[in-house]
Chain A
Amino acid sequence: VTTEAASAASKLSSGLRELAGVLHRDHSADAVLQLVTELAAQTLTGAHGVSISLKAGGGYTTASALPASLVPIDESQYDPSRGPCVEALERNQCIEGNLRDCCERWPEFVSAARAGGYEFVMSVPLSSDVTDAVSGALNVYSRDVDPFDSEQRRAATAFAHSAGAALNNAEAFKRAALENEHLNLALHSRGLIGEAKGIIMERTGCSSDDAFDELRRLSQSTNRKVVVIAHEIVQSAQRARDDGRNGDG
């Protein structure tokens, strides 16, 4: 093992270790993708630019790019739906090419990438188990014509798979946070409605089910949500209690 290879392996290992930590501590998808891009750019020998493209809802976006000048280069393939990243996502496999040989295959992309000084690109799908809603690819650009050996290809694939796991983690966290928000709203609504039902039951001597029916009828007749009616009843009872206390005082 040469010193150079050992150094590359060490860089890769430390990059992947750092990424694994992200799975547990950082849940923002944007932050994760930014970090993956930075780590891949620092780690992959021969890489002069790295970006991550995402496909969601039928459209592509570049989620992160280093340098930022890669964004319009990535975008040059989205509209014509023709380029290495588009192919990598369509075929779910690593796609790479020396740009001089790909003028007919990806005319818009090759023109933009070569104008930016790049000669080679490799696009690796993030991982096969990324969420159904989002898929993505790690794009590695080089200014050299034959920059990557099998070791670098394996490293890029490892990065892409780790990025996919990080993205999955971020998406799962986002879903959990959203569910938590929905649950909090539901608990708040349930609390208000329960309180309003108690007030109605106290006033009328009816059952809990009948109290809800009363709320529902009020909701239907006024075209307002049950929780809004409940909130008004609770507030009104609170005001009456406060007035009573003030009157007593």
Chain B
Amino acid sequence: MVSTLHAGFLASGLSLSQLWFSYFGLGGNATQLQLGRFVSGEDDPGAHEHDLIAHALNERFHDLDLDSPVAYSNE
């Protein structure tokens, strides 16, 4: 179980570009550069953007037949 976006991103095996496509497809509005700062922990994405990123990562884990380990903002 990982809780942070940073740990989830590292565990996902996705490149930042791959994650951005998934996140953008869910409705995310940040640029790839901003997304990089969110997943590195440099910037706080806010609750909604956090949930979009967390869900993009969790769908990736679901594709890999793994649990959804990245916590959402209200968890």
Contact = CB atoms under 8 A, between A and B. Distances in A.
Given A216-B55, A219-B55, A190 B24 contact: yes
A193 B52 CA distance: 12
Contacts of A182: 18, 21
Contacts of A187: 25
Contacts of B4: none
Contacts of B18: 182
Interface in A182-234: 182-183, 185-190, 193-194, 197, 209, 212-213, 216, 219-220, 223, 225-227
A214 to B, nearest CB: 12
Contacts of B62: 223, 225
Interface in B22-57: 22, 24-27, 47-48, 51-52, 55
B27 A190 contact: yes
A242 interface: no
A183 B20 CA distance: 10
A186 B55 contact: no
B12 interface: no
Nearest to B68: A220
- Interface of B (DSSP majority class): helix
B27 A186 contact: no
A212 B55 CA distance: 11
Contacts of B17: 179
A226 B21 contact: no
A226 B59 contact: yes
Contact of B22 (A186, A212, A223): A186
Given A190-B27, A213-B51, 15 more contacts: A183-B21, A186-B21, A186-B22, A188-B25, A193-B25, A197-B27, A209-B47, A212-B26, A212-B27, A212-B48, A212-B51, A216-B55, A220-B68, A223-B62, A226-B55
The 6 closest A-B pairs by CB, nearest first: A186-B25, A189-B25, A209-B48, A182-B21, A186-B21, A186-B24
Interface of A: 179, 182-183, 185-190, 193-194, 197, 209, 212-213, 216, 219-220, 223, 225-227
Interface of B: 17-18, 21-22, 24-27, 47-48, 51-52, 55, 59, 62, 68, 72
14 contacts: A179-B17, A182-B18, A186-B21, A186-B24, A187-B25, A190-B26, A193-B25, A209-B47, A212-B48, A212-B52, A213-B51, A219-B59, A220-B68, A226-B59
